[in-house]
Structure 1
């Protein structure tokens, strides 16, 4: 996804998710500056069904997650990872 489309989807998902991470529910920082993008609560695009498992870049498969959750999800399913991050187990 090119930069312009990525920015648009991050903004759209930020608005739809009320500025919260899809996994932990914490507020995220929507920024386009490179040094802010490295912060743990920077908004990132997340593929719910991982591309490594056959997921696509279609907008229905995208959500906004904080960098911390996006980096730590690993191979877990998105629904079980959400439950784990929100201490629902």
Structure 2
């Protein structure tokens, strides 16, 4: 996916999810500055079905997650990880 498409989907998902992470439901920051993109609350595109498990970059398989949740999900499926994050 090219840079313009990534920015568009990040903005679209930010709007659809009301600026909240799909896992922990905390507010995220939509930014394109490299310094802010490294912060734990920065908005990232998340593949609900991991690409390692056959997931694609299709828009139906994308959600917006904070960088912390995106990095800590690991091999868990998205639904069980979301349930776990929201219960903590």
Shorter-chain TM-score tier = over 0.9
**C-alpha displacement of 1:87:** 1.0
RMSD, matched Cα: 0.8
Q: 2:2 aligns to what?
A: 2
Separation of aligned partners in 2, 1:42 and 1:12: 15
**How many residues are paired up?**
88
TM-score (norm 2): 0.98
Q: 2:84 aligns to what?
A: 84
Separation of aligned partners in 2, 1:2 and 1:68: 23
Q: Which runs of 5+ in 2 are unaligned?
A: none
Task: Tell me which stretches of 4 or more aligned residues in structure 1 moved more than 3 Å.
Answer: none
Q: 2:29 aligns to what?
A: 29
| Partner deviation per Cα, 1:33-81 (whole Å, 9 max, x = no partner) | 0000000000000000000000000000000000000000000000000
